[in-house]
Amino acid sequence: MTSKTFHRRILVTGCGGQLGSALCRLLDAEAVGLDLPELDIASRESVRAAVDRFRPEVVVNTAAYTQVDRAESEGELCRAVNVGGVENLVAACRNLGARFVQISTDFVFDGRQGSPYCELNCPNPLNVYGRSKWEAEQIVAEYPDHLIIRTAGLFGSGGPASRGNFVDNMLRRAGQGFPLRVVDDQISSFTFAGDLALAIRSLLAIGGRGVFHVANAGYGSWYQLATEVFRVAGVRDPIEPVPMGEYACAAQRPRFSVLDTGKYVRTPGCYRMPSWQQAVRAHLARRLARSPC
């Protein structure tokens, strides 16, 4: 990385992922996006160099270790990125006086409440990934100029670093000749990356601080999401609903991790998030528009 300085109002980490790429497309010249190998948030030197180079007023951290099951056996790597990386970013923001925005997850909750979680509910993560994100939140909360956005069930059009998402993975599996089995008793909020990017921009514009839950309106099971995706896409492959207990996953997951977005909805000036069904249609329309066929 060169020593030349380029002022940008917003620095977006993890720009190769679904949310980071959507945010960079939306903010355009207002922001610079960085990802591996140019920026490794787990390296304090790499973070310091990036912040010194671009001198941002705002840092939005969309970079994260998100392999929930692998995290159970890669705990050190997960913490190095999700906790150590956040420590590095917060330290750099503190030195610069920049605002810090952290993207977090519904997996900070254990799902045992049985009703949507608001920002005041106490986190109790069930897995290594969730614990790392909750620990990161606590670090961020100690920095005065912060914004924490919890979201859930993210899907969108990622950049080169994106590992895909549930919606696109379901469509890739269609027509391959094997049964499609999807969990019907794990209930979540769902979020289109394009809508979340608009929500982040609106929160930045109004000076939002503290913790906000942001997701598309409504909620459902992953089976309901899959059937809606196939319905909209015109896919006729059958989907079998199955209980969570039939999946041998390394990481325990919350059964009901719906986010109560009332605080965000009631905040004047915030982008109005459409329903998750509308978000699915928007995502599939953009996916089709990019198809070479």
State the catalytic residues: 129
CA dihedral 69, 194, 197, 256 (to 10 degrees): -40
Reference 27, options 269, 197, 216; nearest CA is: 197
Q: Where are the alpha helices (DSSP H) in the chain?
A: 18-27, 44-54, 75-79, 85-96, 128-141, 166-173, 193-205, 222-233, 262-266, 276-290
The residues pairing with 281 across neighbouring beta strands, listed in sequence order, are: none
Q: What are phi and psi of 197, to 5 degrees?
A: -60, -45
Residue 143 C-beta-side C-alpha neighbours within 13 Å:
27
Instruction: Return all residues near 150 (Cβ < 8 A) that are at least 6 apart.
Output: 104, 105, 106, 108, 119, 211, 212, 213, 214, 259
DSSP state of 136: H
Reference 115, options 254, 265, 280, 276; nearest CA is: 254
For residue 45, the SS3 value is helix
The residues pairing with 180 across neighbouring beta strands, listed in sequence order, are: 239
For the chain, how big is the Rg over CA atoms in Å? 19
- Taking the C-alpha atoms of residue 10 and residue 98, their distance in angstroms, rounded to an integer, is 9
The residues pairing with 213 across neighbouring beta strands, listed in sequence order, are: 150
